[in-house]
Amino acid sequence: MASRQVSEIKNILKEADVSELPLLIKEFEEDERAGVKSAIESANKRISKYEEEMKRVESMCYFEKKYSAFTNICGIDEVGRGPLAGPVMAAAVILPKDLRIPYINDSKKLTAAKREELYDIISEKAIAIGLGMAGQERIDEINILQATYEAMRDAIHHLKVPADYLLVDAVHIPKVDIPQAGIIKGDAKSISIAAASIIAKVTRDRIMTDYDKVYPEYGFAGNKGYGSAEHIEALKKYGPCPLHRRSFIKNFI
């Protein structure tokens, strides 16, 4: 092994996928140089962290296993109940039963970059994804809770593969014939709901970023329609735009 420079071995171990590390460690473990030993120690820590992460992900499959008698278990979540502007977005996601996605979690616990990365993985691996949306006019017309339910039903309707059981974050969706379970903090407890939360969040964020180009004064690319200090100040200065929920902004105009 001494024929290879320490820096080269360090780089090999650093750049390797975690699945490749055991074989690489075995290849370099007899090298007595301190730098190589340190790199191997770091690689072993990476393996341990990954194993812990996969245990956490496996724990997020509890409800999927509990209802495993059903063929197409669908996770459902929404994003955008709280903003002053823009739609409420719901996603319905059916994942393969044997799929485990490292680092999946409640979308609120992830960075924007990690959400985008997981969005691509979920989009590629999912059996089916359905999206539903209720715009600001509909929210003002029927209230945010009913609009959320409507968006969720719309997401279910847009699944190309029908779901036969629903795992829903926190709520029970009315007017749905499919059996369902509402799970408190389900986006952190169910891999299917977490996947739905990521799909819904990334989709809505992209919509609001696009709207920022139309209504730049409100900072939608940054605040996504939520009531940040800057957003509220702009609302007071410029008044509402067509995206604002009139029932949400009464205290600011």
Average pLDDT for 86-101: 97
Average pLDDT for 49-57: 95
Which amino acid makes up residue 120? D
* DSSP structural state of residue 81: S
Strand order in the sheet with 165-169: 128-134, 88-94, 73-79, 165-169, 180-183
Instruction: Extract the tokens encoding 84.
Output: 């002053």
Of the chain, the percentage scoring pLDDT greater than 70 comes to 99
pLDDT of residue 252: 85
pLDDT interval class at 93 (50, 70, 90) = very high
| pLDDT tens per residue across span 60-80 | 999 999 999 999 999 999 999
pLDDT of residue 59: 97
Number of Cβ atoms within 10 Å of the Cβ of 141? 12
Q: Write down the domain spans for the chain.
A: 6-59, 64-238
| pLDDT tens per residue across span 1-46 | 447 899 999 999 999 999 899 999 999 988 989 999 999 999 999 9
DSSP sequence for 168-208 = EES---TT--S-EEEETTGGGT-HHHHHHHHHHHHHHHHHH
176 to 72, 102, 163: CA distances (angstroms): 16, 32, 11
The pairing of strands 165-169 and 88-94 is unpaired
Q: Mean of the per-residue pLDDT values for the chain? A: 95
| pLDDT tens per residue across span 117-126 | 999 999 999 9
Are the beta carbons of 213 and 207 closer than 8 angstroms?
A: no
Of the chain, the percentage scoring pLDDT greater than 90 comes to 94
Angle at 155 between CA 136 and CA 184, to 5 degrees: 90
pLDDT of residue 237: 95
H helices of 20-177, where?
Answer: 21-28, 34-59, 62-66, 112-125, 136-142, 144-157
pLDDT interval class at 206 (50, 70, 90) = very high
Are the beta carbons of 130 and 91 closer than 8 angstroms?
A: yes
pLDDT of residue 1: 43
Residues near 153 by beta carbon (within 8 Å), at least 6 away in sequence = 132, 173, 175, 176
Average pLDDT for 155-182: 97
Q: Rounded distance, CA 188 to CA 79, Å?
A: 14
pLDDT interval class at 235 (50, 70, 90) = very high
pTM of the predicted structure, to 2 decimals: 0.91
| pLDDT tens per residue across span 177-193 | 999 999 999 999 999 99
CATH for 64-238? 3.30.420.10
Encode burial over 43-57: b for 16+ CB neighbours within 10 A, e otherwise. beeeeeebeeeeeeb
Average pLDDT for 171-179: 97
Greatest Cα pair distance, the chain, in angstroms, is: 73
